């Protein structure tokens, strides 16, 4: 199984800060990586898939980079509504594993 | 509107069975693989199972292998998760998903005596 290691596990930035979350895969997954935003009581919302493609309707302050084994999600200027837990998920092969999550508390 | 609408779930006892349903609309259901994902209380997301677009191929997480089955009815655009021999550790919010795209609203399954 492919393991995804996310870091940091939590952070407490301020509004306007630039935030970067990293996701490392235990072996190469090309660009088959998705980033999700998860808020309590809500379904996960896909932000980016594949690794660098912003999904329709997602604010341009979100961006993704990387391929192979190293990936990152960047929020260029954090907004209050960005408080959430962020997850990466590999879609390269089954089982479709998730990273452990990064809780962003503003 | 493109959506996945879930039903089923609830409170069951250990050892019981339960079926979750996920009705699709707004996209060509039979063209896509679909998954079930769960979130245990206070924990992260865990992929549970997936099924190919035709239903011929299924995949399961080790934690549910042999107890859960997944199926789909492409004539009715419905995805199912059949859960048997439920355990307390299966207590979670379950989501159906066209991964990296559309997600259902989630349904709570509580396994408790």
Task: To the nearest 10°, report the CA torsion of B82, B104, A23, A106.
Answer: -130
Closest CA to B47 of B56, B57, B36: B36
Distance from CA of A79 to the nearest CA of B (A): 23
Distance from CA of A26 to the nearest CA of B (A): 17
| pLDDT for the residue numbered A99 | 98
| pLDDT for the residue numbered B22 | 98
The whole-angstrom separation of Cα B59 and Cα B48 is: 8
Closest CA to B64 of B94, B43, B41: B94
Report mean pLDDT in 10-residue bins for chain B, 113 residues: 96 97 96 98 97 98 98 98 98 96 97 96
| pLDDT for the residue numbered A57 | 96
Residues of A in contact with B104 (CB under 8 A): 43
DSSP state of B53: S
State whether B46 and A36 contact (CB < 8 Å): no
Which among A45, A95, A98 has the least Cβ separation from residue B44? Answer: A98
State whether B47 and A101 contact (CB < 8 Å): no
Residues of chain A scoring pLDDT < 50: none
A97 touches chain B (CB under 8 A): yes
DSSP strand pairing (A10-11 vs A102-104):
parallel
Instruction: Judge whether B47 and B64 are in contact, CB under 8 Å.
Output: no
| pLDDT for the residue numbered B99 | 87
């Amino acid at each position: 199984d492919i393991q995804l290691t996310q870091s940091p596990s939590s952070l407490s930035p301020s509004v306007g800060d630039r935030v970067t979350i990293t996701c490392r895969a235990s072996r190469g997954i090309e660009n088959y990586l998705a980033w999700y935003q998860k808020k309590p009581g809500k379904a996960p919302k896909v932000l980016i898939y594949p690794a660098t493609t912003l999904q329709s309707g997602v604010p341009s302050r979100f961006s993704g980079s990387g391929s192979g084994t190293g990936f990152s999600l960047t929020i260029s200027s954090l907004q209050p509504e960005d408080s959430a837990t962020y997850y990466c998920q590999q879609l390269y092969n089954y089982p479709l594993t998730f990273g452990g999550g990064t809780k962003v508390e503003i | 509107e493109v959506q996945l609408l879930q039903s089923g779930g609830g409170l069951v006892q250990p050892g019981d069975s339960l079926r979750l349903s996920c009705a699709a609309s707004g996209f060509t259901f039979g063209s896509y693989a679909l998954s079930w994902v769960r979130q245990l209380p206070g924990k992260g997301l865990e992929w549970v199972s997936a099924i190919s677009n035709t239903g011929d191929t299924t995949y399961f997480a080790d934690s549910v292998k042999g107890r859960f089955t997944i199926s789909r009815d492409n004539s009715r655009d419905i995805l199912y998760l059949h859960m048997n021999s439920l355990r307390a550790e299966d207590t979670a919010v379950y989501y159906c998903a066209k991964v990296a795209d559309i997600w259902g609203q989630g349904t709570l399954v509580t396994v408790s005596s």
